[in-house]
Amino acid sequence: MRMTRSVTTPGKWHLQALHPELLLLSRRGILIDASYVIVSAWGAGIYGRVFGIGLQSKRALVVHVYDPALGITHLLSISMDDLEDLFEDHRAYLTAGRKDELLQAITSMLFFEYPTQGRPILHINKLLKTSASKLRRIAREKQRRLEEEERRLAALKFMTMPRRARYRVLCTSQKISSFLCNISVHHYPHQARNFHIVATHPPSSAEFHLPLGLLYAGKAANNSSAPHTWTPAIKTAIARAVVRQLCLVRNNAGEMALAVAGRVGYYSKGIHLDEPQTPESVARQSYLQSIQITVQALQQAAYDERTAITEAHQAQYAALERDVRLLEASRSELEAKEAAIKDALDEIEAIGLGDVDGLDKDQRHAARQRVRERRADVKKDRSETLVELKRVQSLLTALLSQMQAATADTTARLHESALRFATRIEALKLEAVTPPPYVDLRVGDKRYALHATQSRRPRAFLGMTNQVRQGAAAIQGQRVRYSVAFGDDRSMELTAYVPATSTTMRFACSLPTWCILTKESVRSKKARHEMQVAVPGLIQHPGNALPPSSEEVELDALNAAIATSLDEWRTSRTPTTYDELQQLHARRRELSKESQRCVHHLVTALCERLRFQLSSALALDNIIFTMDPYVLVASDEVDRPGICTVRIEPNHNVVFAVDLMNGSQYEKAHPYTQELVLELASESAQEMHVHLDLIASSMQLVRRDDTLVDELEFLD
């Protein structure tokens, strides 16, 4: 490759006039680096295609680059060897018919070197310059090929997957309404807007289906993004959140269906629940199991008897078949013998005396006598054969009759055996429908009613008369068993047993403190004041007597009515008085159960404030009110912003703590804290918040003259 220096030309290009042997191939104006130039490609000895094997001698390309701004002409000579070297990595440009593309590629290889002094210098590089649009087009084409390959691999992977795993979003095990189920969530292409949820209960083989729209699934998982923007990871997370909220609902027909976020699936046969383990149910199950064992024994005996009858019949039938085969073989031999004798007799009849023309009378008589004797012998053999054949046929007929009789007898015996065992099994099934009544033999003649149950209190609770409620709750997400007892000094004691660690923990506080802590649920913010009022004797205010609740009024009326009815029963024992007394007791039990239900909700609200501390202790979150933002008024008339929190201490102290933005902290107990606790216990959650807000707003930061220390002061 030969390159000339840049020269200054007074006019435009006149290369053809200087070199008449050159042929103009192309001319165009382009931008090379920062210079707009006119590029002319001339061919020396080139007529037709530019490059060809064996045509390299005396052929060259002369590139004429004219810069109008500087009036400079750059000349670049490229031989065929240089051309082959330039396009070593792009051999396709050297093929026939691509002259224009080859010249455009050579133009794209040109670049200028701009020295600090002097004119620009033209160079050529083997690297092709590509436009941005072409690069983007190449990138898009590459991306398209990659996506096609990914789709092909995904389709191949999809076809190798098990059928149950295709289009599956999630497969897990989850407890649904106390039933452990295997749950699979699919997203099928023909149901693009729905999740298809299938829950299977392995012990009962029950299967429940629920088609759930993607919008409802996102709403249940608190995801407000559009379904078409969900990635596989987001889709799996939403499906997992939906599975955690699944529940089973039951209709009046006893059928069950999956439900979530108000959407109910298809109803199907419900899961059978085992009956409670009472002495009566255990005895009934034992009786039914004994019936089932007896039925299985009868079925086994019927099978054994049927097998014995069938085996005996098969042995007898095999012996008879063997005799029949022997007789059939004898009959075949006799029939063949009789056919041969008949042929011999026919031959004798056909021959007769033969040729007797040359014989005298005596010889003819002797020949005739020999024919008669031979005919008589053949007839005698034939008669004996026929007699033997008839005897064999009669024996064969007798054996076939015996085989038919044996088959009929076996069929009758099998039918009689099956009918006998079926009758006994049906009788046992009828007995199982109406089992005998349960009798506890340990107590002699004493019999319990069907609805009565025997129970014993745990040893830890024996002798306790102040226990109010037992149940289950959760502390920090861990299930515990609890019992609540009220003391004579208006206190309550909560005993929690943790099955996971087999530890027992206790928490005690006063009833007013319990009322304040359980005014509302910490998580759901649901009010519990009405439940506190429904528990008799829970809320008391000595200074301002509150009107009794409707439940207390009804309970007092029931106690008075029971006492009156009991006095009447002692004087005159009539059925009417007894029925009335039973109704009163039933109504009092209903009120007690309702009160215990309210106590359970209050205990769960308290457990939301409790947390485990160390190994066998419970800690309490005693903050009952928070003001944020809060402005504290000071005696120097400068407001100080901060946060105010109110907490209740075990000793009935209501403490107001202020944390200012400048880092200062102040706290002080209310001066009339005992009366304040009783007032807060008798108020609802909203009233308590308003009360504490007013007290916190009336606080002021003052400086003591004697100690020169700032402290909180409550203003009336």
Query: pLDDT tens, 311-363?
Result: 999 999 999 999 999 999 999 998 998 888 888 888 877 776 666 666 777 77
626-641 pLDDT tens trace: 988 888 888 877 788 8
Within this chain, do residues 375 and 500 fall inside the same structural domain, yes or no? no
Contacts of 97 (CB under 8 A, 6+ apart): 49
pLDDT value of position 531: 84
What is the CATH classification number for the domain harbouring 380? 1.10.287
Within this chain, do residues 373 and 475 fall inside the same structural domain, yes or no? no
Within this chain, do residues 18 and 142 fall inside the same structural domain, yes or no? no
pLDDT value of position 465: 55
Rounded Cα gap, residues 618 and 650, in angstroms: 14
pLDDT value of position 458: 52
Within this chain, do residues 315 and 398 fall inside the same structural domain, yes or no? yes
Within this chain, do residues 26 and 62 fall inside the same structural domain, yes or no? yes
Q: With cut-offs at 50, 70 and 90, classify the pLDDT of residue 130.
A: low
Is 136 in a helix, a strand, or coil?
helix
Within this chain, do residues 468 and 607 fall inside the same structural domain, yes or no? yes
pLDDT value of position 315: 92
Within this chain, do residues 66 and 96 fall inside the same structural domain, yes or no? yes
Rounded Cα gap, residues 656 and 666, in angstroms: 8
pLDDT value of position 459: 47
Q: With cut-offs at 50, 70 and 90, classify the pLDDT of residue 487.
A: confident
Rounded Cα gap, residues 354 and 348, in angstroms: 10
Strands 110-113 and 617-620: unpaired
* φ, ψ for residue 77, nearest 5 deg: -110, 130
pLDDT value of position 354: 62
The residue among 581, 613, 645 that closes a domain is 613
* φ, ψ for residue 228, nearest 5 deg: -70, -10
Q: Is the pLDDT of residue 91 over 90?
A: no
Within this chain, do residues 155 and 167 fall inside the same structural domain, yes or no? no
- 435 preceded by a cis bond (ω within 30 of 0): no
Rounded Cα gap, residues 459 and 115, in angstroms: 103
| Total domains present in the chain | 6
pLDDT > 70 in the chain, percent:
87
Tell me the DSSP string of 268-327. Answer: EEPPPPPPP--HHHHHHHHHHHHHHHHHHHHHHHHHHHHHHHHHHHHHHHHHHHHHHHHH
Evaluate whether residue 454 is within a structural domain.
Answer: no
Within this chain, do residues 629 and 591 fall inside the same structural domain, yes or no? no
Evaluate whether residue 628 is within a structural domain.
Answer: yes
Rounded Cα gap, residues 582 and 417, in angstroms: 58
Q: Is the pLDDT of residue 605 over 70?
A: yes
Evaluate whether residue 456 is within a structural domain.
Answer: no
Q: With cut-offs at 50, 70 and 90, classify the pLDDT of residue 48.
A: low
Q: Is the pLDDT of residue 593 over 90?
A: no
pLDDT value of position 348: 79
pLDDT value of position 288: 86
Tell me the pTM: 0.38
182-224 pLDDT tens trace: 999 999 999 889 999 999 999 888 999 999 999 999 999 999 8
Evaluate whether residue 441 is within a structural domain.
Answer: no
* Mean pLDDT, the chain, whole residue set: 82
Q: Is the pLDDT of residue 115 over 90?
A: no
Within this chain, do residues 11 and 124 fall inside the same structural domain, yes or no? yes
* 189-194: long-range pairs with CB below 8 Å, 24+: 193/227
pLDDT value of position 161: 84
Is 567 in a helix, a strand, or coil?
helix
Print the domain residue range for 492: 464-613
Return the amino acid letter for 394. S
Instruction: Please check whether residue 243 is in contact with residue 183, taking contact to mean a CB–CB distance below 8 angstroms.
Output: yes
Q: Is the pLDDT of residue 699 over 90?
A: no
* 530-539: long-range pairs with CB below 8 Å, 24+: 531/598, 531/601, 531/602, 532/598, 532/602, 534/594, 534/595, 534/598, 535/595, 535/598, 535/599, 535/602, 536/595, 538/511, 539/515, 539/681, 539/682
Q: Is the pLDDT of residue 56 over 70?
A: no
pLDDT value of position 267: 93
pLDDT value of position 549: 67
6-32 pLDDT tens trace: 444 433 444 444 455 678 888 988 888
Strands 268-269 and 255-260: antiparallel
The residue among 559, 585, 613 that closes a domain is 613
Evaluate whether residue 169 is within a structural domain.
Answer: yes
pLDDT > 90 in the chain, percent:
26
Length of the chain: 716
Q: With cut-offs at 50, 70 and 90, classify the pLDDT of residue 78.
A: confident
Rounded Cα gap, residues 469 and 598, in angstroms: 10
Burial class for 17, CB neighbours closer than 10 Å (0-12, 13-18, 19+) = exposed
What is the DSSP secondary structure assignment for residue 227, as one 8-state letter?
G
442-477 pLDDT tens trace: 544 444 454 445 445 454 554 455 778 888 899 988
pLDDT value of position 463: 47
Q: Is the pLDDT of residue 440 over 70?
A: no
pLDDT value of position 180: 92
Within this chain, do residues 517 and 635 fall inside the same structural domain, yes or no? no
User: Could you tell me which residue, 707 or 331, shows the higher pLDDT?
Assistant: 331
Tokens of 393: 């046929």
User: Could you tell me which residue, 597 or 229, shows the higher pLDDT?
Assistant: 229
The DSSP bridge partners found for residue 210 are 197
Q: Is the pLDDT of residue 131 over 80?
A: no
Q: With cut-offs at 50, 70 and 90, classify the pLDDT of residue 536.
A: confident
Evaluate whether residue 451 is within a structural domain.
Answer: no
Q: Which of 94-103, 245-254, 420-429, 695-704 has the lowest mean pLDDT?
A: 94-103
User: Could you tell me which residue, 569 or 683, shows the higher pLDDT?
Assistant: 683
Q: What is the mean pLDDT of residues 300-307?
A: 94
Evaluate whether residue 439 is within a structural domain.
Answer: no
CA angle 137, 141, 145 (to 5 degrees): 170
The residue among 613, 632, 664 that closes a domain is 613
Within this chain, do residues 472 and 603 fall inside the same structural domain, yes or no? yes
Q: Which of 153-162, 244-253, 268-277, 372-381 has the lowest mean pLDDT?
A: 268-277
Evaluate whether residue 457 is within a structural domain.
Answer: no
Instruction: Please check whether residue 670 is in contact with residue 677, taking contact to mean a CB–CB distance below 8 angstroms.
Output: no
